[in-house]
Copies of this chain bind each other. A is one copy, B any other.
Amino acid sequence: MQKIYNPEKNTWADILERPTQTVADIENVVLDVFNDVKTNGDDAIKQYTEKFDKVSLDSILVSEEELENAKQLVSQELKDAIVLAKSNIEAFHAVQKTDKVSLETTKGVNCWQEKRPIQKVGLYIPGGTAPLFSTILMLAVPANIAGCNEIVLCSPPNKEGKINPAILFTANLCGVTKIFKVGGIQAIAGMTFGTNTIPQVYKIFGPGNQFVTVAKQLATKFGVAIDMPAGPSELLVVADDTANPSFVASDLLSQAEHGKDSQVILVSTSKKLIEQVEIEVENQCNLLPRKEIAEAAIANSKLIYIESDQEALELINEYGPEHFIVCVEDEDFYIDNIMNAGSVFIGNYTPESAGDYASGTNHTLPTNGYAKQYSGVNLDSFMKSMTFQKLSAEGIKNIGNAIEIMADAEGLQAHKNAVTLRLKSLSDIT
């Protein structure tokens, strides 16, 4: 790990630079698959599944029987854990519901705002070694609370044409409408255009490799919304001597094991803590099954000593971490003043893992500094807000003249006329 002491402000940008991804070269591959799926629908999907997932499937829709089997295959212990996590996630997302907001802005001018569900949403869950059933909890649970009609899930099949039972169990538990054994670019293309089998959706959620990331970006060009732009996962911990170095090290490593491009930063006002954490990281890392990945990520990581909390805060806001752990004596200083972070974890007993799985908060969060302008996934991600207004005769009389003057000044006579006609009809009456 790189240790950096009291970096000058003009070096912050370099120090905080994230691992770069070049995606331009895969954009053409993605575009080809999109065009093919748009034109050839299910046939193209089938063909790419054979090519990329090495399996030929008669039906890509997961059957009731497969769901029933999955239920048998998941251990009771894991089922219980998933149910507990679901209950917390459900509770925390349910309290995010907002009431209709209503105001009579001027006498006779009633305006209100209401949120309504996005009717069709698509969830993408990657395959590979780690079956990310926890991400299904994070996406399908709020989609259900929001009231989305159709919740489609795509996940790649393995070479036997199967999806991990924990994924099927969780998807079924969380009310996913349809599960498809389709992965990668072709899954995103399928949900973007719709095929005879896969419904077209209005918004696509979920993580994926760089192909999926580019595919989601391309989907936006075809009118589909996405949860947020993606980047490698990252964690920043601010800690002082009140922090437990062994806990801090375990949190840094839990982020580092995600991928070689994960970024891990410790900011501290204590040189002693930095030394302790460094030793702990080394010791703990050696015991991990994903040691190789964690080591590579740790090699790029930084331990930054900064003298004052104020300057540390500025640096952290400049970085805008996805996950932000606060283990300091004066935690309120950071809690109150952090402006850019995806999710904040406070104190010695709040590992990032808690939010990753079971505390109730969402783990789909803005990476890559996007915390400066994007929210993590929350209940509102599955809804859109609409406004309504109703003016009475009195209402249009009260604001009509102002509208006429403004429309006139903008050179929009028909806009003015729509008001003038109404005002005239009212003066004719009275």
Residues of B within 8 A of A294 (CB): 414
The smallest beta-carbon distance between A154 and chain B, in angstroms, is 18
Residues of B within 8 A of A359 (CB): 105-106, 109, 111, 389, 391, 395, 399
Please tell me if the beta carbons of B257 and A414 are within 8 angstroms of each other in the complex. yes
Given known A103-B95, A360-B111, A375-B386, contact A353–B78 (CB-CB < 8 A): no
Please tell me if the beta carbons of B251 and A418 are within 8 angstroms of each other in the complex. yes
Residues of B within 8 A of A98 (CB): 98
A67 interfacial by beta-carbon distance below 8 Å? no
Given known A342-B386, A359-B399, A375-B385, contact A418–B256 (CB-CB < 8 A): no
Residues of B within 8 A of A211 (CB): none
Given known A105-B360, A349-B391, contact A413–B343 (CB-CB < 8 A): no
Residues of B within 8 A of A355 (CB): 387, 389
Mark contacts of A184-228 with chain B using CB atoms, 8 A cut-off: 1 yes-contact digit, 0 otherwise. 000000000000000000110000000000000100110111000
A354-412 residues at the B interface, CB under 8 angstroms: 354-362, 366, 368-376, 378, 380, 384-393, 395-396, 399, 401-403, 405-407, 409-412
Nearest-neighbor residue (CB-CB) of A164 within chain B = B409
Please tell me if the beta carbons of A103 and B92 are within 8 angstroms of each other in the complex. yes
A61 interfacial by beta-carbon distance below 8 Å? no
Please tell me if the beta carbons of A392 and B349 are within 8 angstroms of each other in the complex. yes
Mark contacts of A244-285 with chain B using CB atoms, 8 A cut-off: 1 yes-contact digit, 0 otherwise. 101100110110111000000000000000000000000010
Please tell me if the beta carbons of B387 and A418 are within 8 angstroms of each other in the complex. no
Please tell me if the beta carbons of B412 and A254 are within 8 angstroms of each other in the complex. yes
A129 interfacial by beta-carbon distance below 8 Å? yes
Please tell me if the beta carbons of A389 and B346 are within 8 angstroms of each other in the complex. yes
The smallest beta-carbon distance between A284 and chain B, in angstroms, is 7
Given known A288-B413, A351-B419, A360-B109, contact A78–B406 (CB-CB < 8 A): yes
Interface 9-residue window, one of A37-45, A47-55, A113-121, A304-312: A113-121
Taken together as a complex, chains A and B put the C-alpha atoms of A335 and B385 apart, in Å, by: 14
Residues of B within 8 A of A29 (CB): none
- Interface SS of chain A: mixed
The 4 closest A-B pairs by CB, nearest first: A105-B360, A81-B402, A351-B418, A88-B105
Taken together as a complex, chains A and B put the C-alpha atoms of A253 and B348 apart, in Å, by: 63
Taken together as a complex, chains A and B put the C-alpha atoms of A289 and B406 apart, in Å, by: 16
Please tell me if the beta carbons of B413 and A134 are within 8 angstroms of each other in the complex. no
16 contacts between A and B (CB under 8 A): A78-B409, A109-B354, A119-B372, A130-B410, A133-B406, A203-B373, A223-B370, A247-B418, A288-B413, A342-B386, A349-B395, A349-B396, A354-B389, A357-B402, A357-B403, A378-B385
Please tell me if the beta carbons of B353 and A416 are within 8 angstroms of each other in the complex. yes
Please tell me if the beta carbons of B288 and A411 are within 8 angstroms of each other in the complex. no
Given known A257-B414, A368-B223, contact A113–B419 (CB-CB < 8 A): no
Please tell me if the beta carbons of A391 and B347 are within 8 angstroms of each other in the complex. yes
The smallest beta-carbon distance between A224 and chain B, in angstroms, is 8
Max chain B C-beta neighbours (<10 A), residue from A91, A202, A359: A359
Residues of B within 8 A of A131 (CB): 409-410
Taken together as a complex, chains A and B put the C-alpha atoms of A220 and B230 apart, in Å, by: 12
Taken together as a complex, chains A and B put the C-alpha atoms of A5 and B293 apart, in Å, by: 64
Taken together as a complex, chains A and B put the C-alpha atoms of A223 and B231 apart, in Å, by: 11
Residues of B within 8 A of A361 (CB): 111, 113, 387, 389
